[in-house]
Amino acid sequence: MDRMTAMETFVAVVEAGSFSAAARRLNVGQPAVSKSVAQLEERLGTRLLLRSTRGLNTTDAGQRFYEHARVAIEEADEAEHAAKQSSESVSGRLRVSAAPTFARLHVMPSLKRFLDQHPQLEIDIVLDDRNIDLLEEGMDVSLRMGSLDDSAMTARRIGRSPRLVVGTPQYFEAAGVPATPADLIRHQAIVYSQRGGGDSWSFSQNGKETAVVVSGRVRVSAAEGIRTAVLGHVGLAVASQWMFAPELADGSVRAVLTDWQLPPLDLWAVFPAGRLVTSRARAFVAFVESVLAEMAL
């Protein structure tokens, strides 16, 4: 049994949802597909698929095998692609995970330009503030904000944004404008409850550091919620300049305490550990870097 062919057959069955549909996709007979999967299960010593009245379902072992097999097939395709020196034509399916707010504001509006540059490319974008497992989810690259806890990650910093204390003019008109970080204890703070957030805000000025523990009636687990709450005049928040770039430009959001500095926010391109970085991922990262460069103009 050819291992790669068996993996390709199994992946086709899972994605097509049936042996007959996989056979049509692979342009082979259905008995050949059934035999290939049966031999694969015998080789692995475990059941990979379960039949029911609703169709086919993967077992736990089958789902794990499918995820790794799909990655192995993609890497083999990429290696063949590189060997044929066809990297100038970026093609296939690119899977990206990204923070929803950053992607909505700065990636998606320019995405057509990227797709026009690579007409043979398809892209799946998974928007999630959480750091998902890239291997398990079959991602080519992830755009992650903040510090990276895992030093074993294959990552490259591609951008850095100042962080600011922001609010709307309407909020500051009602609550007053803080003159020092200590004034923040009298304000309604919108607190980001995920990693990298919290109610302790650290500032520096002329080499001196100060931390303020803020409070407020609203805590939010997603960056998009921070935007919505600030724009709704609920309170003030600490956010990257990226998050409110349009509103800072048109004046509908105002930055305060600008003579104090907050730790900047880094943007990282993170790749699955132990995997070849695909030409698709490299092209996408270069595209994001070009978007950031345009924002700096």
On whether both 155 and 167 belong to a single domain, the answer is: no
How many whole angstroms separate alpha carbon 249 and alpha carbon 237?
Answer: 17
Which segments of the chain does DSSP mark as H helices, in order?
3-16, 19-26, 30-44, 60-83, 100-102, 111-117, 134-137, 169-175, 223-231, 245-250, 279-295
Between helices 3-16 and 19-26, what is the axis angle to 10°? 120
169 and 259 in a common domain = yes
| pLDDT of 130 | 76
At a CB cut-off of 8 Å and minimum separation 6, what does 80 contact?
none
Same domain for 271 and 151: yes
Q: Are residues 139 and 274 in the same domain?
A: yes
Tokens of 79: 């290696």
For 10, other C-beta atoms within 10 Å of its C-beta total 25
Are residues 111 and 40 both part of a single domain?
A: no
- How would you classify residue 264: left for phi > 0, otherwise alpha for psi between -120 and 50, otherwise beta? beta
Q: Which amino acid is located at 183 in the chain?
A: D
Helix-strand-coil split of the chain, %, nearest 5: 45, 25, 30
Same domain assignment for residues 155 and 274: yes
Among residues 83, 100, 121, the one where a domain terminates is 83
- Indicate whether 117 and 185 sit together in one domain: no
Choosing from 34, 49, 83, the residue where a domain stops is 83
Identify whether residues 150 and 284 lie together within a single domain. Answer: yes
Q: Are residues 116 and 172 in the same domain?
A: no
Flag whether the pTM goes above 0.95: no
Both 56 and 77 in a single domain?
A: yes
The letter for the amino acid at 267 is L
Of the candidates 262, 220, 15, 254, the residue with the CA atom closest to the CA atom of residue 101:
220
Of the candidates 74, 34, 255, 228, the one whose C-alpha atom is nearest the C-alpha of residue 161 is 255
Last residue of a domain, one of 83, 112, 132: 83
CA 61 to chain CA centroid, nearest Å: 26
Q: 51 phi and psi, to 5 degrees?
A: -90, 140
| CATH at 192 | 3.40.190.290
Q: Are residues 58 and 195 in the same domain?
A: no
**Cα dihedral across residues 219, 224, 227, 233: positive or negative:** negative
pLDDT digits (tens, 9 = 90+) for 176-224: 999 999 999 999 999 998 877 889 999 999 989 999 999 999 999 888 9
CB 1 within 8 A of CB 66: no
Report the CATH number that the domain containing residue 19 is assigned in CATH: 1.10.10.10
Same domain, 27 and 167: no
- Domain total of the chain: 3
**pLDDT tens for the chain, residues 1 to 297:** 588 889 999 999 998 888 998 998 888 999 999 999 999 999 899 999 998 766 788 999 999 999 889 888 877 776 665 555 444 568 888 999 998 999 999 999 999 999 999 999 999 999 887 777 787 788 899 999 887 765 556 888 999 999 999 999 999 999 999 999 999 999 999 999 887 788 999 999 998 999 999 999 999 988 899 999 999 999 999 999 999 999 999 999 999 999 999 999 999 999 987 667 888 999 999 999 999 988 764
| Domain carrying residue 237 | 163-263
| pLDDT for residue 207 | 87
